[in-house]
Structures are given as structure tokens and as C-alpha cells.
Amino acid sequence: MAKGKNKIQPIPLAPAQSPRDTTWDELRQVASDTAKLMGDSISVIQTLASNRTLNEGLKDPKDVAQKIASIGRDMTDYTAQHRALTQRHKDRTGSARSPDDFVEALQLAAEYDELVTSFNNVVLPVVADITLAYGEVQESLLTPPADDADDVAPSTSV
């Protein structure tokens, strides 16, 4: 082998590109995801509560009605909080223009996080309770009634 023929050639690297700053667009997505979480949770309850057959089968309809009313009141507050947060950045898009702008976006993101955490701790357990109550009704409707013949003890005489 001749000297220098097997030298490893360096692979040319593309110039490094800094990622595009999308601070405000990402915050807009956080706002959208938060609204979807809240809306989806309530949509489930509305669908269940509008089913007459399920309502007739509830073991404690008064308790379920109180929980639904409670969620309604809570949702009024959570929706107002979400709307107020969204208004604070409604006209912002793209990148943060300054360090202060970036800090403001971070503060808003933290407030959205607090809103979601509170929603998850306050509303979702009640949604789970309501869903469970309706789930018990659905299960009872899908489970065939026990046959009386199955309740008879087997004969032990030989």
C-alpha cells in the first residue's frame, strides 16, 4: 500500500443552525391543550348525563346531580381563568423579543401549569366519580340477570 492512500476523509458537517424560537406559538399551543383538556372532561359528563336510560339506573341520582352542579360551578371559574390567561398573550406570536418578553412567557406558562394542576386535582376526581356511577349502570345493563336455576345447590346424593 502506498503511503497516504487510506487516509480517512472528514465528513463535511452542515453549518449549525440555532433552533427557531417559537415561545409565543408554544404558549398558544399550551392554551389550546388546556382548553381541550377542560372541554373533553366536561363533554364526557354531558354525554353521560344526557342519556335517560343511564340516569334512570343511577343508584344515587341526587348525589350525581350535586356533583354535576359542582362541576358546572367549577367550570365557570376555570373557564374565566383560562380566558384571562389567553387574553394576556392573544396578540403574541413567534419568538420572544427580549429577555423580559421571554420571562413573561415563562410566567404565563407557569400559570397555565397551575390552572391544569388545580383542574386535575379539583375537577377530574369528581368527573371520575360521576363516570364510575354511570359505568355501574352500564355494567348492570350489559350483565344478564342471574338465572334462578343457577342458584340451586347441586345434589349431593349418590
Q: At residue 5, does pLDDT exceed 70? A: no
At 132 the pLDDT is 96
Q: Summarize the confidence of residues 68-85 as an average pLDDT.
A: 97
Q: At residue 12, does pLDDT exceed 90? A: no
Tell the burial category of 78 from Cβ atoms under 10 Å away from its Cβ (0-12, 13-18, 19+): buried
Q: At residue 156, does pLDDT exceed 80? A: no
Domain edges within the chain? 23-141
> DSSP states of 52-92 as a string?
HHHHHH-S-HHHHHHHHHHHHHHHHHHHHHHHHHHHTTTT-
pTM passes above 0.85: no
